Chains A and B, each alone.
Chain A
Amino acid sequence: MRLSNYFSFSKTVMSMMSAYRLEFMVWIILSPLGLLIKYYIWKAVFEFNAGGTIAGYTFETMLAYYAIMYVMGSIVFSDEDLEMSRSVNSGDISIAFTKPFSIFLIDLFNGFGTNIFAIIFEMVPMALIIFFLFKIKTAGLVFTVLSIISFFIAHLLNYTLSFTFGLSSFWLKDYYGVGKAKNVIVDLMSGSFMPLDIFPVSLKNIFENQPFAYIYFYPAKIFIGNFSVNECFFILIKQLAWLGIFYLISVLAWKKATEKFTGEGI
């Protein structure tokens, strides 16, 4: 099966998604609200500390850090863990076993359908709203492009991670506990909650050197111009290396899971 054939999966999902256009529109209005709260809290902190920089951030770069994460959320997004647990619990996954496709790739391309739809209907309008409303300054075209590339790799990281977490459904009846665990871990360790380099030094050293940091923290830091171009490329390479490791783990987990599977749904 050629890789290009998998695109038909993406297309199907995209046409299914169009039923949810209204929900996307609601989300476009709501998402800047979350950013608005970050804006208020950091404005208060920077004002009370009489301007200047805090832990290497100016108010503008701090805001840009959060803004780019909100905008690129459509690219990074993956709900593969929920999809996987749903199809394991219902037994639908046994249908997928009978087809001559890789389930990892089918689901990857199914996910692309959602992402492409979200990029068109969510990311583009949201980027316009956010960048206009909060007057976000970019660090230059080069860094913006490098950051977008990095966010695309981050999607693959996030997808592979979600896939692996979703496989836990082969062992546990339900997914809600593991799903909560995944969300909390990723929120905290990816930098989506707070930039990881403002943590106390001992924590910072740990958090900056673990793979989850490559999902949001490093791509966003590239965007705000914290690294030289050379450093950016080095980060992209490290990101790809972690992707390779995550992929190997997912392959191993998949093998274990399918050995366990009996077919009647769990």
Chain B
Amino acid sequence: MIKKYASLFLKYLELEILRMSTYRANLVIYAIFSLVGNLFGPFATYIIYGISKGIQGWTFYELLLFQGCLVFVYGFAHFAFMSMTWRMSRSIEQGSLDQILTKPINPLALISISNTDIDGLFEFLLGLILIIYSILNLNLVFNFVNSAYFVVLLICGIIVEYSFSIILTGLAFLTVKTRSVLEAFWSLESFGEYPFVIYERVLTFIFTFILPFGLAANYPATALIKGLSSVFFLELVGVTSAFLLFSIGAWNLCIRKYTSAGG
């Protein structure tokens, strides 16, 4: 079973690389500028800490670690599955989704493994570099608990991104054109791009327990730098699991409502 999915995943990855190599010039330009775009956050941090003391509770390298986590999680999501959101709305418009539904494999599994995007790979690596660079410049006292929390919460961040992708893809079944839904999501998601100390309590609560954007960067970085209580850590893992289950439920609901468009 897992072997089947893994070999399918690799096959689709190969196809993606082939697709990319037809547009080589654009691929290179895109990859370079996408990386530059991902450095905007760290650059903003550099500027803000150059002209001021920055924000409360975060030093420059701590905030850089925060941004490293963000680029890492978003980059991995972009590489592995996030493209399903915008690609699916296109296949539904063209009616090519019907083919996916007739294949002898769970449609959610197929959609999840067939939407790799090589551009995300560079972002993911950049995130890794940022994380390592800032850790080298921070005097962190490593202990097993903090490091384990850090890694687990980064994985939770990726799972949350995956859950959001499933929900957004599912919505494409109902609304066909999801461009504005996606725009809405990305606008909201940018609340997760800054440490939560800058928000009021209500917003922090929302972005922790209802729309858990905080798992992409805020909580992994906090766990490593300042540590989290084990109760709160378990709560975060609980939120992630609940969110994943909710998204699969929502997906099943959406796919039942699907009527072929196309043509």
Contacts and interface: CB of A to CB of B under 8 A. Distances in A.
B20 to A, nearest CB: 11
A187 interface: yes
Interface string A25-45: 011001101100100110111
B36 interface: yes
Given A37-B190, A45-B55, A30 B50 contact: no
Interface residues on B, range: 35 or more
Contacts of A255: none
B190 A34 contact: yes
A40 B184 contact: no
Contacts of A177: 23, 25-30, 33
B12 interface: no
Nearest to A46: B52
Contacts, number: 100
Contacts of B193: 37
A174 B26 CA distance: 7
Interface string B178-195: 011001100110110110
Nearest to B199: A40
Interface in A168-186: 172-178, 180-181, 183-185
Interface of A: 22-23, 26-27, 30-31, 33-34, 37, 40-41, 43-45, 47-49, 54-55, 172-178, 180-181, 183-185, 187-188, 193-194, 198-200
22 contacts: A27-B183, A34-B190, A37-B191, A37-B194, A40-B194, A43-B198, A44-B55, A44-B198, A45-B48, A54-B52, A55-B51, A172-B26, A176-B26, A177-B28, A180-B34, A181-B29, A181-B32, A183-B33, A185-B33, A188-B36, A198-B47, A199-B47
